[in-house]
Amino acid sequence: MDEVIVEYIRRTVLKIPRDEIMAVLQKWGFLSEAQLQTINFRQTKESISHSVAQLCEESSANIKQAALLDIIYNHIYPNKRAWSVYRMNKTGEETDFFDFRDFKKKFRRQIQSALINVTINFREYEDNAIWIRIAWGTPYTKPNQYKTSYVVYHSQTPYVFISASTLRSNLPLLCQAMVVASNYHDIREMELRSHCLNSLKDIVFKRYSQNFQTNYPLQERNVLTENVDLRINDENSSEKERIHRLNQECFGDGPQPKLDFAQYKLETMFKSDPKWDVLEKKEPFRCLVKFSSPHLLESLKSLAPAGLADAPLSPLLTCIPQKARNYFKIREKKSLHPGNFVALFQLQDSSETQHMPILST
């Protein structure tokens, strides 16, 4: 058991960039300062990891310490994992006092009643975030420390951020345990996924700069007229001003939350010239459109000013942060006037249905 733990610690240290290893180990706090001084941080990472493993073996690290190091690593570098957002519901307005020990006990008991071979570790952070690390095994094998799921739960909110590993079959058990331990009634997936955990939190807790409709426009709107040589005349300055204003209305002023992609599943009828009978099937035309980008919302915001799209952008794209989702299913709604060239699309939303008018040619 010891060699497995030591090897696991060594591999975790290998993942950390060399300049940060000292800081992470100090945060971990398992090795004393004296021990840390004996490590030569100027050698290769491979050698550093071996030195650390050696020290841990001498100090008899146990599985709890190893798990703690893993939690600290994932807390500092959460963007290496893919996170999904879940929302829990409860009927009634009881505001229970959140007892961390009670929560831990119930969570552990719930999971272990179904599967005994798991390693569960908890850590509470200052912003009321509880990080839970679960290493999964099977009914017949010990937990595999390399197959972990992470749960981040802010106790004052109904939102849970889950980064499942490849073992997605354990996801229902995990959700069940969350619901029971936190005294809610049910949990549902929110169709919002990204690699950037902080951006997901920003979207869900509404911490990004949103745009509020004001009746009084800002006085200082001189963004486009500063430092301009009078000999250079922009013929389209009014157009640029309009695009800038529309962009401000759609996206707001501040930095956008970081999302990786937006996926639209279309189940709409193909609209064509009536004389092309071939395509006039009665079945909807299925199609999947996926927009991916290192920073999706910023690139959408810069589409219109770069001249690559018309402003205003389609509400399907701009509603992503407000609706807090990046998976959409678009079905067709029968319009009241068949001769009208405006088609109404219905966004599939489990809690409410919205009608968004979109022009189709």
Partner 1 sequence: MAVLRPFDKLPELNCATILLVGAEGGPQQQLAEAMLREKKDFNINIHLASSLPLPPERDHLRPRIDLIAFVIDIKSKYSLKNVQASLAYVDVRFFLGKVCFLVTGVGRVNNCSVEMNAIWKLGEDYCSPVIFCELELEGIRVATAQRLLRMLQICAGRVPGVSALYFSLLMRNSAGD
Instruction: Work out whether 227 is an interface residue with partner 1 (CB under 8 A).
Output: no
User: Which listed residue (141, 166, 222, 238) binds partner 1 by CB under 8 A?
Assistant: 238
1 binds partner 1 (CB under 8 A): no
State the helix-helix crossing angle for 63-76 and 2-15, rounded to 10 degrees.
10
Q: How far apart are CA 127 and CA 10, in angstroms?
A: 29
Residue in 37, 169, 219, 233 binding partner 1, rule: CB under 8 A: 233
Site membership for partner 1, residue 224 (CB under 8 A): no
User: Among 239, 249, 280, 310, which residue interacts with partner 1 (rule: CB under 8 A)?
Assistant: 239
AA identity, residue 51: S
What CA–CA distance (Å, rounded) separates 159 from 125? 16
Angle among Cα 165, 201, 82 to the nearest 5 degrees reads 20
Amino acid at 80: K
Q: Which residue has the tokens 């994992």?
A: 81
- Which lies closer to partner 1 via its Cβ, residue 34 or residue 308? 308
SS (H, E, C) 81-114: CCEEEEEEECCCCCCCCCCHHHHHHHHHHHHHHH
Which residue lies nearer to partner 1 by CB, 94 or 226?
Answer: 226
Shortest spacing between CB 361 and partner 1, in angstroms = 17
Task: From 91-99, 125-133, 225-233, 332-340, give the range in contact with partner 1 by CB under 8 A.
Answer: 225-233
Using CB under 8 A, count the residues that bind partner 1.
13
Cβ proximity to partner 1, 231 vs 275, nearer residue:
231
Between strands 261-268 and 327-332, the pairing is parallel
Residue 231 touching partner 1 (CB under 8 A)? yes
Choice from 234, 249, 280, 349 touching partner 1 (CB under 8 A): 234
Q: How many residues does the chain have?
A: 361
Nearer to partner 1, 234 or 249 (CB): 234
* Residue 233 CB, nearest approach to partner 1 (Å): 5
Cα of first residue to Cα of last residue in the chain, in angstroms, is 66
Least separation, in Å, of the C-beta of 238 and partner 1? 7
Site for partner 1 in 291-320 (CB under 8 A): 305-308
- Rank residues 172 and 307 by Cβ distance to partner 1 and give the closer one: 307
DSSP string, 190-227: EEEEES-HHHHHHHHTT-S------SS--S---GGGTT
User: Which residues have a Cβ under 8 Å from the Cβ of 56 and sit 6 or more positions away?
Assistant: 5, 6, 9, 30, 31, 65
Contact region with partner 1 (CB under 8 A), list: 172-180, 229-237, 333-341, 351-359? 229-237
Residue 266 CB, nearest distance to partner 1 (Å)? 24
The DSSP output letter for 278 is G
229 forms part of the interface with partner 1 (CB under 8 A): yes
- Is the CB of 303 or the CB of 344 nearer to partner 1? 303
The CA distance from 17 to 117, in Å, is 32
- Does 236 sit near partner 1 (CB under 8 A)? yes
CA separation for the pair 129, 160 (Å, rounded): 10
Evaluated on CA atoms 293, 296, 300, 301, the torsion sign reads: negative
Positions 64 through 93 that interact with partner 1 (CB under 8 A): none
- Minimal distance, residue 243 CB to partner 1, in Å: 11
Positions in 110-169 near partner 1 (CB under 8 A): none
What SS3 class is residue 15?
helix
| Single residue of 232, 278, 288, 359 touching partner 1 by CB under 8 A | 232
* Closest to 123 (Cα-Cα) out of 100, 148, 106: 100
Taking the least distance from each CB to partner 1, the nearer of 294 and 307 is: 307
The distance of closest approach from Cβ of residue 211 to partner 1 in the complex, given in angstroms and rounded to an integer, is: 24
Query: Applying CB under 8 A, which residues contact partner 1?
Result: 229, 231-236, 238-239, 305-308
